[in-house]
Chains A and B, each alone.
Chain A
Amino acid sequence: MATTDLLRSQGIKPANLVDIGKGAKARRVVKGLELALSNSNLALLLNLFCSVTHCDEIARGILAAYGELSPDVPLVVRLEGENVQAAHELLAGVSEQHGHADLHLVESLGDAVRQVATLWRGDRGGRGR
């Protein structure tokens, strides 16, 4: 909810909000991404501060989602918390496994929102508005 507040403060209207909940496994991440992607048309922002579910589990979910869903929007991913290092290592290899993967790995929530804002401005520019 803090994430959607921040996006709104940048003038960006979130299409949806998915809370994957505590103790989510990779499968639930894939399902969550599927739901979130169903009406996202600009980018998908993932902001997770992990405790019960470790970051590397989320990363595995993201990798699985790339294999199964082939998202057509860029993913902006911000992970923090337990096992964040392992997650970053897993995600660093994503473009090698999936050539089409458009994944932006960022360090903080502020960076994530700025990245989406940049994409948003680029998108508007592209449409000549």
Chain B
Amino acid sequence: MRTHGTRVVGAVTFGQGGTWCAGVPVFDTVKEAVHATDANASLVCVPASEVMEALLEAVDAGLRVIVCVTSHVPARDMVRVNAYLLNARNVAYAEDSPGAQTGVPGAPRGTRSYGERKQVYLIGPGSPGVFSPGKCIVGAMPGHVAKPGSIGVLSRSGSLAYEVTWLLTRSGIGQSTILGIGDGLIVGTGFAEVLAMFEDDPSTEQIVIVGEIGGQEEEMAAAFIADRLTKPVVAFIVGQTAPPGRRMGHQGAVIEGYEGTAQLKIDALEKAGVRVARTLDEIPRLLERG
């Protein structure tokens, strides 16, 4: 991470507080670490069974960006984490602007108020991380596949995020930020929320969405695109030949009943005006030259 501009200031492992690792101090708790270092982001890479505790601790410590790379976190744990996050956001929102929190609790995903001063973003679990080439990386992406530019890359799968980024780089197209929302059944920040951030980000001009079967992320993204997004979007959906009912490697990649098929997602995105690539190689061609 350091080679790509991230300032790593500390590590947390309970029981190892007071020691040093790779030139940074190790703390027993996240709170201690944040207090001592003023860290504002964290990378969670503990085993799946411990992710919930680690995430709750990170939220409590006041971190704004929490990236979790661990895959196969129990869905029930994530339900609890997301409920906790929503509550933390509302508390923060209420503190910031008394009386202004009406409409925020329970608002459907994709329609919440964005960009609050105390917003907490959980990326993942099962995320490759967040990477702005030439600026900063929090996560585990192979950095050499990216180059700075103006395309926002948004993906559920980690390896596909690298694959698309590498393809763009080889085609001479740079990226502003590459973000994997995670391969889990339940994740923190969704496509729609990240799209809202890309919309507000002056360094992003176009967006590539790499979706896959299962869940409703792509459909919610389509709704957001139709509703608010002004920047051009290209999408690619994998799992077009996936058998229903089979979990395809990722926890969240499963067609359940008639829902979550690649075709439904493609239809929803095309209806929202998104150009959908049929193959990976088509993606660079579909981006507008500018």
Asked if B163 is an interface residue, CB under 8 A from chain A, the answer is yes
B253 contact set on A, CB distance < 8 A: 1
B contact residues, range: 20 to 34
Give chain B's interface secondary structure class.
loop
Do A9 and B71 form a contact, CB below 8 Å, given A2-B160, A2-B163, A80-B166? no
Q: CA–CA, A127 to B266, complex, Å?
A: 39
CB distance from B3 to the nearest CB of A (A): 12
Q: Which of B28-36, B51-59, B191-199, B234-242 contacts A (4 or more CB under 8 A)?
A: B234-242
Q: CA–CA, A8 to B166, complex, Å?
A: 23
Nearest B residue (CB) for A13: B241
A80 contact set on B, CB distance < 8 A: 142, 145, 162-163, 166
Pairwise interchain contact B159-A49, C-beta atoms closer than 8 A: yes
Q: CA–CA, A19 to B250, complex, Å?
A: 8
Q: CA–CA, A82 to B145, complex, Å?
A: 9
Give chain A's interface secondary structure class.
mixed
A82 contact set on B, CB distance < 8 A: 142
Asked if A46 is an interface residue, CB under 8 A from chain B, the answer is no
CB distance from B171 to the nearest CB of A (A): 13
Sample of 27 A–B contacts (CB below 8 Å): A2-B160, A2-B163, A2-B280, A4-B241, A5-B238, A5-B239, A5-B241, A8-B240, A17-B248, A17-B249, A19-B248, A19-B249, A19-B250, A22-B140, A22-B158, A49-B162, A49-B166, A50-B142, A51-B128, A51-B158, A51-B159, A52-B140, A80-B145, A80-B166, A81-B142, A109-B163, A109-B280
Query: A22-B158, A51-B159, A51-B162 known; 9 other A-B pairs, CB under 8 Å?
Result: A1-B242, A2-B157, A5-B239, A5-B240, A17-B249, A22-B69, A49-B162, A52-B69, A80-B145
The 5 closest A-B pairs by CB, nearest first: A19-B249, A8-B241, A49-B159, A81-B142, A2-B238
- B residues sitting closer than 8 Å to A (CB atoms) are 69-72, 128, 140-142, 145, 157-160, 162-163, 166, 212-213, 238-242, 248-250, 253, 279-281
